Amino acid sequence: MAWRPARPFLQALLRRPLPLLCLSFLLTIALGTLALMFPAATRDGLGAPFMVALFTATSASCVTGLSVVDTGSYFSSFGHWVILGLIQVGGLGIMTLTTTLALAFRSQLSARTRGAMQEILEEETVQGFQGLLYSMSLITVTLEVLGALALYPSLELAPDGRVLSTSERAFSALFHSVSAFCNAGFGLYPDNFVRFAGNPGVNLTVMALITLGGLGFPVVTSLLDWELWRERGPRRGWRFLPVHTRVVLLTSAALVVGGAMAWLVLEWNHSLAGLPWGERLWASFFQSVSLRTAGFNSVDLAKLGTPMLLLSLVLMFIGGSPGGTAGGVKTTTVAVLAFTFRALLHNRSEVDIMGRSVPPATVYRACAVALISFGLLFVLAFLLFAAEPHLPFRDVLFEAVSAFGTVGVTTGVTPQLSSVGRLVVCALMFVGRLGPFTLALAVGLSKARASYSYPSTKIVVG
């Protein structure tokens, strides 16, 4: 009976999904902050101070991975479980909540709301959300369990060198598996994954989890369409995949391979110095995969050279793909902008990708996401520079882009941030996590087209 009074309020929120998403994240962060302030959440039994708890809860809920304390040694087992829950809710729970409420109130959804949600979740009908919700849950549980099983053999030692018990080892494997799949970047080791730089099992497992989480559920579900592959075969099946899936896969592959080669060449005498040749190759691919959104590191990023640092800013700003756990402006946004640029060079009035025409609305949306994201990043980064004038420019810029892209890598300045700086970084993480998703909704929920138009004019640009 308590459900009925809340129903009109939820229906009103569904007509305006932006407040719903924001409130969901804020509530998650608030509950996480309170939980981490409990005495049982820290090893010293005093509980985390408010600012530490707020920063950690925001970072975990926004699946970023930045932390002002050493997560493994500062928080207790209870604290680790809280962080794990926040990562899972932040990575997948918001999409799940939105999908569940869309199913519960599909008859009350406005046409524009349905259209925006269908486009973002790559579903043709609201009824299709039910299948997507089931697929999301099944894929998440399956991959996280498989990832934990694959990591278990390699996580036998604690950070202090002692042998972990079976239960501790199992939790460590589960924690890092969930953190990798949700692209969170939280680890229980003070050096993150530096100690595993030459471990093929850990590298392959974590890279696979990061990649699958960052591709987006619509892409993963289309790849798991066994009927398509059985009927068409591998070569013909590729051509029958949705254009969105092919664009995501090709763009992601280009970014991973290009980033790895750049890292190997540019960082040979910097962060990779002293490593055997094989470990340098592993570390280059690991960093290329992780740098765009996950935030794990298998090398010391404080040694990062300036050329690679600049390239890293671009990779972090791009991020992963829509409909998944990754941040950034998304690979498809960059792909649409790149093909738009190609159309301009060839003096074409239409943008086409893989033999399909891209609607002007999609081009406008890509431009809006990129420009507004850049504008928000510029404003918040400016505030961070103002709050931290004593820190090196390159380190603060790296921190700002890492937070906005929900990546979580750092050159080591996170613990040095002032209270104001930490609040700005929290805002960067929050806006970065909601940014492209809410921007797409905002554009999709624009007012109906006017029944009139203005005379055209020419403006000289460039």
Instruction: Judge whether residue 103 has pLDDT over 80.
Output: no
Work out the mean pLDDT of the chain and round it to a whole number. Answer: 84
> Where does the pLDDT of residue 384 fall: very low under 50, low under 70, confident under 90, or very high at 90 and above?
very high
Rounded to a whole number, what is the distance in angstroms from the first to the last CA of the chain? 62
For the entire predicted model, the pTM comes to 0.88
pLDDT at 10: 60
Nearest 5°: the CA angle 309, 310, 314 is: 110
Percent of the chain's residues with pLDDT above 70: 80
Tens digit of pLDDT for each residue in 201-246?
899 999 999 999 888 888 888 888 777 666 766 666 677 788 888 8
Q: How far lies 441's CA from each of 121, 136, 225, 307, 368, in Å?
A: 11, 20, 28, 36, 12
Please tell me the distance from the alpha carbon of residue 324 to that of residue 69, in angstroms, as a whole number. Answer: 28
**Nearest one of 48, 21, 20, 24 to 36, comparing CA atoms:** 48
Higher pLDDT, 439 or 324: 324
pLDDT at 206: 94
**Residue range 334-340: average pLDDT?**
93
Contact, 407 vs 59, CB < 8 A? no
Contact, 18 vs 112, CB < 8 A? no
Please tell me the distance from the alpha carbon of residue 300 to that of residue 437, in angstroms, as a whole number. Answer: 32
**Residue range 278-285: average pLDDT?**
90
Higher pLDDT, 282 or 124: 282
> Domain segments of the chain: what residues?
3-444
Instruction: Judge whether residue 41 has pLDDT over 80.
Output: yes
**Residue range 306-334: average pLDDT?**
90
Instruction: Judge whether residue 247 has pLDDT over 80.
Output: yes
pLDDT at 5: 60
Contact, 196 vs 81, CB < 8 A? no
Instruction: Judge whether residue 76 has pLDDT over 80.
Output: yes
Compute the CA torsion angle 359, 360, 363, 365 (nearest 10 deg): -100
Instruction: Judge whether residue 436 has pLDDT over 70.
Output: no
pLDDT at 222: 81
Instruction: Judge whether residue 144 has pLDDT over 70.
Output: yes
Tens digit of pLDDT for each residue in 396-429?
999 999 999 999 899 889 999 999 999 999 999 9
Higher pLDDT, 191 or 437: 191
- In the three-class reduction of DSSP (H, G, I as helix; E, B as strand; rest coil), residue 320 is classed as coil
- Report which listed range, 128-137, 176-185, 356-365, is most confident: 176-185
Instruction: Judge whether residue 325 has pLDDT over 60.
Output: yes
Q: Residue 322 — φ and ψ, nearest 5°?
A: -65, 155
Q: How many CB atoms lie within 10 A of CB 266?
A: 21
Given 3-state DSSP classes, what are the helix, strand and coil percentages for the chain, each rounded to the nearest 5? Answer: 70, 0, 30
> Where does the pLDDT of residue 113 fall: very low under 50, low under 70, confident under 90, or very high at 90 and above?
low
Please tell me the distance from the alpha carbon of residue 410 to that of residue 402, in angstroms, as a whole number. Answer: 7
CA 355 to chain centre: 29
Q: Is 3 exposed, middle or buried (0-12, 13-18, 19+ CB in 10 A)?
A: exposed
> Where does the pLDDT of residue 111 fall: very low under 50, low under 70, confident under 90, or very high at 90 and above?
low
Residues whose CB is less than 8 angstroms from the CB of residue 252 and which lie 6 or more positions away in sequence, other chains included: 211, 214, 215, 320, 321, 331
> Where does the pLDDT of residue 115 fall: very low under 50, low under 70, confident under 90, or very high at 90 and above?
low
pLDDT at 181: 93
Q: How many CB atoms lie within 10 A of CB 190?
A: 13
Instruction: Judge whether residue 387 has pLDDT over 90.
Output: yes
Tens digit of pLDDT for each residue in 3-24?
566 566 666 655 666 666 777 7
Please tell me the distance from the alpha carbon of residue 258 to that of residue 260, in angstroms, as a whole number. Answer: 5
Please tell me the distance from the alpha carbon of residue 288 to that of residue 285, in angstroms, as a whole number. Answer: 5
